[in-house]
Structure 1
Amino acid sequence: MYPKEEGFFMPAEWEKREKTFMEWPCREEIWFDGILEAKQGYANIAKAISKFEPVVMIVNKADKEEAEKMCDNEIEILVIEHDDSWIRDNGPTFIKNNNGELRGINWKFNSWGEKYLPYDKDNQVAKKLLEYYGVKSYDAPFVLEGGSIHVDGEGTLLTTEECLLNKNRNPHLKKENIEDYLNKYLSVEKFIWLKRGLFGDETDGHVDNVACFAKPGVVVLQVCYDKNDPNYEITQENLEILRNFIDAKGRKLEIIEIEQPPARYINGERLTLSYLNYYPVNGGIILPTFGGDAKKYDLKAKEILEKIYPDRKVVMVDGMPIIKGGGNVHCITQQMPKGVIK
């Protein structure tokens, strides 16, 4: 049976958490300024999250001692072999029912359309993690990354055509097939199909860089106001789609805009800087910031999020070490909702 048939659904990210999972960096070639800077960045973010909720750092056996030294004593170290460090995309998606029982979904993972090899260990992480915690799982028969979807917990899902309809993921599936699967596995009924994610995003337009639900009926969107920037057309198009959408509960969406930071490049490549890659935790928001000429934008993003989440503490963390590898705080974390494991 599918999760929906058994009463399971994907809860919203802002709901109460049991813990956060992360994966220790190990693929050296993806880090522009070296993997040591990346590891320090991961450790700093893990420490920030651990002030709000438990953190489990998944490590390769060879890196266990190093991770223990760089991370806080509060951070649990768990050995599961992996190829890369983006657990949002290769980790499990947790689902629950109205009785609070937890289960997990093990999606197929192909390294964002086979961009990095090997990825066979990454494709096993979700299954091994669920087995370790004794969480019953569903093995989904198609490729999906957690960063490509976002839900409001009330039947509506956000995604992009650029990613989910990309032929490097599920070339045998059409849009209606993907919607059918997402309905069966996540219990979502309405789909907001944005066209594209941010310019140059190597994930092929993950939605968690461009838009997310802040609460039911409320979407936060990163926007560009410079008509000469390629993100202008992308974000204005997405804004128009959101303005005309009615969600699963019949609500017209409230849209809150956050302006993108100034463009930044490394080795001629534009980095995908996004404030939308923030991560809600129990009582807090972990916000990636970029400093330098982006400082006033950083502070404005913090101010907007403080208004959206008045009951949470917004903590700014340095997002630069993480974005050099292609993602940010949301990409390197995966939440386990509070619930009962049977």
Structure 2
Amino acid sequence: MRTPADDGFFMPAEWHPHSRCWMAWPVRAEVWGERLDEAREAYVEVAKAIARFEPVTMITPSEQLAEVSVEVGSGIACLPLAISDSWTRDTGPSFMIDGKAGLVGVDWRFNAWGGLYPDHEADAALAENLLSYLQLPRYQAPLVTEGGALHSDGEGTLLAVETTLVNENRNPGRSRDEIETLLKAYTGAKTVIWLPEGLADDETDGHVDNVACFAAPGRVVTLAPGDAGDENHERLQRNLAILRDATDAQGRRLEVAELPQPKARRKADGTRLTLSYVNFYLPNDGVVLPAFDDPADDKVLEILEDCFPGRELVQIPALPILQGGGGIYCITQQQPEASLLIPEETGR
């Protein structure tokens, strides 16, 4: 069985130009409860913010197509496809390019974050259905993971969290080395930087999209450890130490920018919401990032303006989205432009 790496494909960086952003309409009532309408309003706000920079398509069940088209407005397209949930980062395909105008998709095995929801058949089929609609080649990966568990610099380096992938609820019986080999084969990566843990009470078992991401070749943004009494302090301290000591696929030591943690917020059952400023989206020429009605909101704007010079930053109130278990990055999936590499990526 041939893999994307065999055929010269790799996962581009988030800042590679996009042709479109894919989102999905919130439909799982048990996730949102009485806050479903509030969540939908927040999704629309994110979609409209991204649509200022690049095209956006909202995937929606066919029976809700007319209603959703009205809700999102004329500037956002809608595509009727079956869905179980609304997290396209995890359920959609991971797109790969080859630098020669080639574009393909990887269809990871999806089991609803280790079996959290038994009725996830539509989401398990979403990547295949979307790639069929787009008439793009599909690589079916023999690995259970989600898109939010991986982050690429576009130059051969992946970030991943061990508790997400090396987990009996995803890939039972497989060692980290075996999983790393498959990740490299299906993303074209040469180096995987493993972080030990994600955030406390993260339903995804610690997706990397809440703790660290690449901002440029050789530069990483991570969530700072913060107060020593915080339950995430030791986790984030270990992650920070690994990142500071890491070498990427090009032999560079990483420059690390730290974002503060927002203050802890909890659900009614006492579990902590996985609030993270790392969970942002990079549309063409922009940054769409969360606000949490927190004193750190303004500080994060300053840090990310330095990390992404020349981009327009748009901050969106994200607490309604976090009530469902994820953030802005989690509800978006970019489709890269199938074109020759931009200059920043030619070092690969």
Common topology (TM > 0.5):
yes
Aligned-partner Cα distance in 2 for 1:236–1:269: 21
Shift of 1:15: 0.8
| Alignment of structure 1 residues 57-68 onto 2, 5 Å | 57-68=58-69
Tell me what 1:274 maps to: 276
Corresponding residue pairs, total: 337
Query: Post-superposition shift, 1:260?
Result: 0.5
Q: Is the 8 A contact 1:49 1:281 kept in 2?
A: yes
SS at match of 2:117: coil
Give, as a single letter, the amino acid of the residue that structure 1 aligns with 2:272.
R
| Alignment-derived partner of residue 2 in structure 1 | 3
Cα shift readout 1:91-142 (whole Å, capped 9, x = no counterpart): 1000011212101111110000010120011000000100101111111112
Partner of 2:241: 240
Equivalence for 1:286: 288
Which residue type is aligned with residue 89 of structure 2?
Answer: R
Aligned-partner Cα distance in 2 for 1:50–1:259:
28
Residue by residue, what CA displacement relative to the aligned partner does 1:69-110 show, whole Å, maximum 9, x if unpaired?
A: 110201110000110000100110000112121011111100
Q: Distance in 2 between matches of 1:270 and 1:3?
A: 38
Give the drift of 1:311.
Answer: 1.0
1:190-222 deviation digits (Å, cap 9, x = unpaired):
111100001111100000000000011101001
Give the C-alpha shift of residue 32 in structure 1.
5.1
TM-score, normalised relative to structure 2: 0.95
The residue that corresponds to 1:322 in the other structure is 321
Aligned partners of 2:322, 2:334: CA distance in 1, in Å? 20
Please name the residue that 2:22 is paired with: 21
What letter is aligned with 1:63?
Q
Post-superposition offset of 1:33:
4.1
Is residue 245–residue 252 contact of structure 1 (8 Å, CA) maintained in 2? yes
**Code of the aligned partner of 1:106:** D
Question: C-alpha distance in 1, partners of 2:114/2:52?
Answer: 35
Return the offset for 1:62: 2.1
Q: Which residue of 1 aligns with 2:158?
A: 157
Preserved CA contact (<8 Å) 1:223 1:236: yes
Task: Spell out, residue by residue over 1:140-168, the C-alpha distance to the aligned partner (whole angstroms, 9 max, x if none).
Answer: 11211000010101111100111011110
Match of residue 336 from structure 2: 337
Q: 1:33 to 1:289 in 2, by over 3 A?
A: farther
Please say if residues 32 and 325 of structure 1, whose CA atoms lie closer than 8 Å, have aligned partners that are also in contact.
Answer: no
Secondary structure of the 1:243 match is: helix
Task: Give the 3-state SS of the residue equivalent to 1:22 in structure 2.
Answer: strand
Mapped contact 2:149–2:164 kept (Cα < 8 A): yes
What is the Cα deviation at residue 244 of structure 1?
A: 1.1
| TM-score for the superposition, normalised by structure 1 | 0.97
Does the aligned pair in 2 maintain the 1:223–1:231 contact within 8 Å?
no
**Percent pairwise identity:** 46
Matched, 1:173 2:167: no
Letter in 1 for 2:276: S
What is the correspondence of 1:1-342 to structure 2 with a 5 Å cutoff? Answer: 1-31=2-32, 33-267=34-268, 268-291=270-293, 294=294, 296-339=295-338
CA RMSD in angstroms comes to 0.9
Unaligned runs of 5+ residues in structure 1 are none
Secondary structure of the corresponding residue to residue 99 of structure 1: coil
Paired letter, 2:312:
K
Name the SS for the 1:270 alignment partner: coil
Query: CA–CA distance in 2 between the matches of 1:111 and 1:81?
Result: 15
**Which whole-Å CA distance do the structure 1 matches of 2:224 and 2:200 have between them?**
12
Distance 1:238 1:183 in 2: 21
